Structure 1
C-alpha cells in the first residue's frame, strides 16, 4: 500500500514509500516509461547510499530511528529532467546481442552496465511471475526506467534475433551509467581527502551534525567536456594504442548529440583518421547497415542523415582530412547517398490503399540497397549498383549503375547546395598534411563496431 505524500520543507526528507508515490505521480504523463517503485524495487539498493533516476543521483539518508529517506527536492528534480525528454518510439537503436557483448560493456567503475544487465536477463530462462516479483537477480527497472515497456525484439529466419530500444532511452541510460561512475569516483576521492571513517556495510557513510547519514560527496563530479577538435588530424591506429585514451574519451560529451557521454572514437575506415568521440547511440546511427562487405541496405535512418540533420552529419564526416580535402564521403556512405538521394526519382512505387493524401496512395517499392565493385583507391574501376529487393510484385530490379567518379561529382554539387559551409571548407586546395600514400582501411575489430577500441 502506497503512502500518502506530505510535502515537507524545501529539501526536506520523505520516506521511501512516500518517494515511490511521489515519483509515480510526477511521472504519470512522461514520454519515458518509468517504474512506479523506483526506490524500493530491484535493482535499487538504499544501503548503497543512492538511487539512480535517469541521469541524476538521488542520495539516500538514514534519519532518526534508522529509517531510510530521500530528499523530496531531489526526487522532483529527477522527475522534471525525465519529463523533459522527448521520445520517438520509431527511432530505434540496436542494443544487442553482439558477438563481443560480454566484453564491450566492461567500462571501468560502472555499476549500471545496462546493456549487460538486459542481455543477462533476456538470456535467462523465463519463469512466470519472476519478472514481476523482481527476485532471482532480475532488474525491475534501470535507473528508474521500465525498459520492458519499450523493448523491441526482432527475429529473422526463426533463429537470429536482435534487441532494440528507442534512441532517446539509449542516451538516457548511457548518461545514467556515466553519472553513476563519476559520482562514485568523486565520493571515493572526497572520502580519502577528508579521512572519514567508513562503515563497510554502507559504502562509507559519514555522520553529519543533524543526525543524517549520507554518502553525498562534497566534491562535485566533473561535467562532460565539450569536444573542441582536440583530436583533429590524429590517426585512429595511433591513438587506439595509447594508454589512457579510453578514459580520456569518456570525459567528453558526444560531439554529435552533445548530451550523452562519449564512448567510442568514431573514425574514417578508408583514410584512418579520427573524426570525434561519440556516444553509442550516434555511432550506431552513423554506421552503414552492411549486408555484406560491399553491399549495404539503405535503411530509414538515412533520411535523418541526409535530410533533417544533414549539415551536422556532413560536418562530422568531413572531420576526416581525407574526406574533407577530396570533398567526398567514405565509399559506403557515398553509396548510400547515391541510392537515397541521386537515384530517388528512379525508385518505383506501388498503389497503397492505406497511404496518406500526401503520398497520393503510393508507397516506395520494396527495400533499397546498393552494392559496389572495386575500391575508392581505384575510382576508375569502382562501380555502384543501386537495386530494389523484396518488391511486392516479386520483382527484383536494378535501378542504376553509377561510376564512382560520377557519384562523387554529384555529391559535390549536392553538398554545395545542402551545406555550403561544409563545402566551403573542403576542396583540393587543402591537401597539405595528407600522407602521400593512401592509408589502409582500419579494420573494425569488434565485428559489430561497438567496442571502444
Structure 2
C-alpha cells in the first residue's frame, strides 16, 4: 500500500517511540530521490513512488524501518573505537594513499569534515592555521570543544539519526555504540550501492557521474539518461508555447516532453517564464533553472540573454525582468565608481529602492570608506537597454 510522506512520518514516529536514540522523523521527505530514488531511515531504504505528480512511500517498507529502529539496543558499555581519518594540510580528494576523501559516501569522513568546519569558525582572526590539523585534549582539531561542535553540527542528520549524539571521547580515541556503528556501516554500503545503480543510463547502459548529473525528472519519477539518450528521448523545443501565459499552459503539455531550452542536453524539468509579464520563455532542466538565479553570472552563459528575451514583452521593450535589472545596475555602478584614485572596485553593501530608482551603499575595503550612489529609473533603463543591445560583455 502506498502512503503519503506525512502519513509515513506519522507512522514512523509511532513505531519508534521506544527507540533508544533520537530520530529525525520530520526529515523524512523526498529530496533524496534525485540521487537514487530512495531515502534512508537507519539501514532501511525507503523507495519513492511517483503518481499523479505526487510522491508516495510503501507502507510495508516504512513499517520495516520503524520496527528495525525500535528493536535497537544501544548498550552503554558495548562501545567500539571509531577510526576518524585525519586530514593532512593541503590534502584533497583523490590524493594517492589518502583516506580523507575517497569516492564513496563515508559517514566517518563527514564527521571529520564537520570537525574541521567547526574548528575553522572557532579560530581567532590571527590564530595559527596549523592548529586545525592537530588534535586537542578533547579529541577535536584546533581549539574546538565538544560543546561548540554540537552547537554547530549537532543537528546534522544521516540515515535519519544524529551521529554526534553517540560520540564519546575516552581521552585517546572516539567511541560509539557497536550496534549504531553497524547500522551506519550497513546504511553507507547500501547507499553507495544505490548510487552506483543510479549512474547507469536507462537507454544505453553507459555509466554516468555520481550524484545525479544524468538524473532527469519525469511524471513517474527520476530516470537516468545520458546526454545522447536524452536527446533521442525528448523533443527539441521550437517555440511551441511562445507568448503563452504561464497560467494558461495546458497540463498535458509537460516540460519533460522537451529538451532543456538552455543546455539542450537534459530533459526539461519546468516551464521557465518571465515573472514580470507572466509569459512562457521555454522549458529548462533543473540545473539550468537553478542557475538562472545567479544574476549576472547567469547572463554570461551562452544563450541566457536570448532565453530572457523570449518573453515578447521584454524583447519589445528591450529590457529584462526586475531582478536582472538590479543586478546589471549594480555591476554598472561597481564598474564606474571608485573611492578617489583607488583602483579597486567598491563592494556594494546595500541596495535600496527609492521612489525614483535605486540607491547603492558602496564600500572601499582598501580604505575602509563608505559612500552612496543613486541611479534614476531612466538611467537604469538606459543601462539595461545598452546591455541587451551589446550583450553580457558590458557587465565585465
TM-score, normalised relative to structure 2: 0.39
TM-score, normalised relative to structure 1: 0.35
Which structure carries more relative contact order (alpha carbon 8 Å, separation 6+)? 1
